[in-house]
Amino acid sequence: MLEVCELKKSFARKPVLKGVSFQVKAGETVVLMGPSGCGKSTTIRCINLLLNPDGGRIIFKGQDLSQVPQREVFLIRQEMGFVFQRFNLVSRLTARENVMLALLYRGVEREKALEMAEGALEEMGLHTGYELKPAQLSGGEQQRVALARALVMEPELILLDEPTASLDPILVKEVLEAIEKLSQEKRRGVLLVTHEVALARRIADRIILMDCGRIVEEGPPARVFESPRSWVGQRYQEISQYH
């Protein structure tokens, strides 16, 4: 479904991605981990076309994304849900309206959009507060609205970049449960950046470890966390002993 080949990106001549290659298959949950600054967000931002790579290719559902004309970028984005560290909800709209927005934009009839939005919010564990604006919701609730907003479009691939990083630890659990739930959908590919070792262990089909713009290790969570081969893997192994 997603194939990243030799991806390269520099900022002001400083190489940040030095040839990153991996795949995400339909139904697979891949967790990308690594130290701060190693290039995880840059990788995600190249995939959803927020950044132009300097080299390499990204193939999504058979299409080379570098060949997509600017006017068709939004069509690709409709098939890729994404959720970032900061919730990016529209502050003047209610939770329900935030989730409905893209559906209405896509041409879904209002009644139907309302029903779908409530279904997605409920699936993410939100049963009330649909009329509240983002500022009236807790961080965990806001992030679950953002997850519902991505999911309601039924994307084939969902990109999550540290979705729990700006949350109070007490609120993290409810968001982790929501993420675990969305990773269980059989057809969808999930690419998740997180530092949550316990979550990665539970939901990942495959862990990819990055360091300084390169992939340094890749494999199933049990192997990567229990007998790591890379320096980064060994650091995560130490952390995972606390979980």
Residues that bind Mg ion (CB under 5 A): 41
Pick 78 or 230: Cβ nearer ligand ATP: 230
Q: What is the DSSP string of 160-218?
A: EESTTTTS-HHHHHHHHHHHHHHHT-SS-EEEEE---HHHHHHH-SEEEEEETTEEEEE
Residues 36-75 that bind ligand ATP (CB under 6 A): 36-42
* Contacted by 39, from Mg ion, ligand ATP, none: CB < 5 to 8 Å by type: ligand ATP
Min separation Cβ 126 and Mg ion, Å: 26
Among 33-41, 61-69, 144-152, 201-209, the segment contacting ligand ATP (CB under 6 A): 33-41
Min separation Cβ 177 and ligand ATP, Å: 23
**Which residues partner with 9 through β-bridges?**
17
Give CA–CA dist 102/93, Å, rounded: 13
Pick 40 or 188: Cβ nearer ligand ATP: 40
Min separation Cβ 43 and ligand ATP, Å: 7
Count of helix runs (H) and strand runs (E) in the chain: 9, 10
* Contacted by 142, from ligand ATP, Mg ion, none: CB < 5 to 8 Å by type: none
Single residue of 11, 74, 105, 231 touching ligand ATP by CB under 6 A = 11
* Contacted by 36, from ligand ATP, Mg ion, none: CB < 5 to 8 Å by type: ligand ATP
Torsion on CA atoms 216, 167, 143, 163, rounded to nearest 10: 0
Does 194 bind ligand ATP (CB under 6 A)? Our answer is no
Give CA–CA dist 109/70, Å, rounded: 27
Task: Find out whether 134 and 95 touch, Cβ atoms under 8 Å.
Answer: yes
Task: Find out whether 113 and 153 touch, Cβ atoms under 8 Å.
Answer: no
Cite the beta strand spans of 65-145 per DSSP E.
80-83
Single residue of 16, 30, 145, 158 touching ligand ATP by CB under 6 A = 16
Pick 103 or 176: Cβ nearer ligand ATP: 176
CA atoms within 13 A on the CB side of 165: 15
Pick 120 or 208: Cβ nearer ligand ATP: 208
* Contacted by 42, from Mg ion, ligand ATP, none: CB < 5 to 8 Å by type: ligand ATP
Instruction: Give the largest CA-CA distance in the chain.
Output: 53
Give CA–CA dist 145/135, Å, rounded: 12
Q: How far apart are the first and last CA of the chain?
A: 32
> Site for ligand ATP (CB under 6 A): how many residues?
9
Name the site residues for ligand ATP (rule: CB under 6 A). 11, 16, 36-42
